[in-house]
Structure 1
């Protein structure tokens, strides 16, 4: 079973909270989202590096 949330599920779950949030809360939320994007990009880059390393190691064998 997958625990991944769809964008729609995320939007539906935070809509009321975001509408009632203070500017400070929204700034904090924005920082969290920005860091989440960085982590996601880093994860993708790490997967590419691992795949590239695995492929080059297999070719050397």
Structure 2
């Protein structure tokens, strides 16, 4: 299955509100995305820590 998207498909998927956004709006949106990525990475790290802790606690029992 080919998952490559054409440029037209990418552009058609962009909401008009985003295309018409000001530089300030885009900067704000970019900050939100960056923080969302940090939060997601933090959540993954927390899950790994909990899993490792649980595993080590079970082994100590």
TM-score (norm 2): 0.76
Structure with higher Rg: it is 2
1:46-61 pair list within 5 angstroms: 46-61=46-61
Q: Which stretches of structure 1, 4 residues or longer, exceed 3 Å deviation after superposition?
A: none
CA RMSD of aligned residues (A): 1.0
TM-score (norm 1): 0.76
Deviation at 1:18, TM superposition (A): 0.7
Unaligned 5+ runs, structure 2 = 1-12
